[in-house]
Structures are given as structure tokens and as C-alpha cells.
Amino acid sequence: MTDQDQAVSDEDLATPQDESPEHDQHDQHDDAEPARDKPSRRELLENEGDIAADYLEELLDIADLDGDLDMDVDGDRASVSVVGADLQQLVGRNGEVLEALQELTRLAVYRETGERSRLMLDVSGYRAEKREELEKLAAQTVATVKESGESASLDPMSPFERKVVHDAVAAAGLTSESEGVEPRRYVVVLPN
């Protein structure tokens, strides 16, 4: 063994007590990964989507259902869509099963992250179709309220449905409010 080999071997075998404090700090600085900033809001939402997708994949397997999962970040919330044939049982009557499944998925995200989730779940385009219907209903109601000058009350709706209507009414320049108690809460469109 050469002197140079011996020097390398001695350095490799050095214990922390053999190193000087300056050398120790230098190694920690060089070897330490750079301090990572807090994850961005988008990264947190993408993580929510990943957790939700894992949960939903397990659920689909248990229920022996076939479906593809699409994840996205839509504004300030994660969005997961389950797409496939014969998934109507995951939607249920008037979207009731979908609403329950969304809450269970949000709870799965909460269990993993400790943070409340606003994740939006869709199955076979149900919410997308419902959104279009509700935007048309809101436009018709806005026209009626503008013409009559009187407020108009709509049928009871889920929180998702009310949100769509409130957004459409606001975009048309009027105001609206929710009244009543769940599950019979409804939207009232007000004249200016």
C-alpha cells in the first residue's frame, strides 16, 4: 500500500471525534441538501389529487369496477374525474352517491395530510353536465328577475349546485343568496 493509499484509508476511517469543528461544519454544509421551500399551493393540490386517486383506485378494485382516473388542479382545488362505462352506481340518484363518495375521498385526503380538502370529484362527466344545466337555469332565472324586478327562488340544491348558480348569477351582474336548512337549502336570485 502506498502512502497516498494509506492517507485515503485513514481519512475514510476517521471518526467524528477525529475531525475539527470547522471540518465538521464544512461537511454538513456541502453534504446537506439545500433547504427546500414550502411546497407551492399547486404542489399541495397535486398531492391531494394523488392521495384521492390512490383511495379511489382501491375503492374501484374493491367494487370490481373499471374506471380511469384523471387528476387536475382547477383554480383553488384539486379535481379528480373517474371515467368509464357503467359507473352510474357511483353517481346515484341526483348525484347523492357521488356527493357521499366525494366526502369519503376528502376524508381520506385529510387523514393523510391533516388538512381539510376542497377536492372536487366527478364520475363519468356527471358534474360537468350538471354544471351546464345549472348555468342555463341561472341564466333563465336572471332574465326573469331582471324583467320582473322581483326575486326568484329555485328548488333545493346540493352545495355544489348552489355554488354553480351563485357564480353564474354573479357573472350576470345580480346577487343571490342561499336560504333554508340542509338538505333543503335553495338559492334566491335578487333584483338589483
Q: Domain spans of the chain?
A: 41-124, 128-190
3-state secondary structure 147-161: HHCCCEECCCCCHHH
Burial annotation 8-26 (CB, 10 A radius, 16+ → b, else e) = eeeeeeeeeeeeeeeeeee
| Other Cβ atoms closer than 10 A to 78 | 27
Task: Average the pLDDT over 74-81 and give the result.
Answer: 94
Name the least confident of 13-17, 42-46, 135-139: 13-17
Q: Which of 15, 12, 33 is nearest to 24 (CA)?
A: 15
Task: Average the pLDDT over 61-77 and give the result.
Answer: 94
Residue 34: the pLDDT is 52
Residue 22: the pLDDT is 45
Amino acid at 15: T
Report helix, strand or coil for 176: strand
Residue 37: the pLDDT is 80
Task: Average the pLDDT over 185-191 and give the result.
Answer: 98
Task: Average the pLDDT over 145-173 and give the result.
Answer: 97
Residue 85: the pLDDT is 87
Residue 35: the pLDDT is 56
Say which CATH architecture domain 41-124 belongs to: 2-Layer Sandwich (3.30)
Residue 192: the pLDDT is 86
CATH of region 128-190:
3.30.1370.50
What is the model's pTM?
A: 0.72
* Cis amide prior to 183 (ω within 30 degrees): yes
Task: Average the pLDDT over 156-171 and give the result.
Answer: 96
Task: Average the pLDDT over 80-87 and give the result.
Answer: 94
E-strand ranges in the chain read 68-74, 77-83, 120-123, 152-153, 175-179, 186-190
Q: Which of 133, 154, 144 is nearest to 174 (CA)?
A: 144
Checking if the pLDDT of 29 tops 50, the result is no
H/E stretch holding 113: helix 96-113
Residue 12: the pLDDT is 42
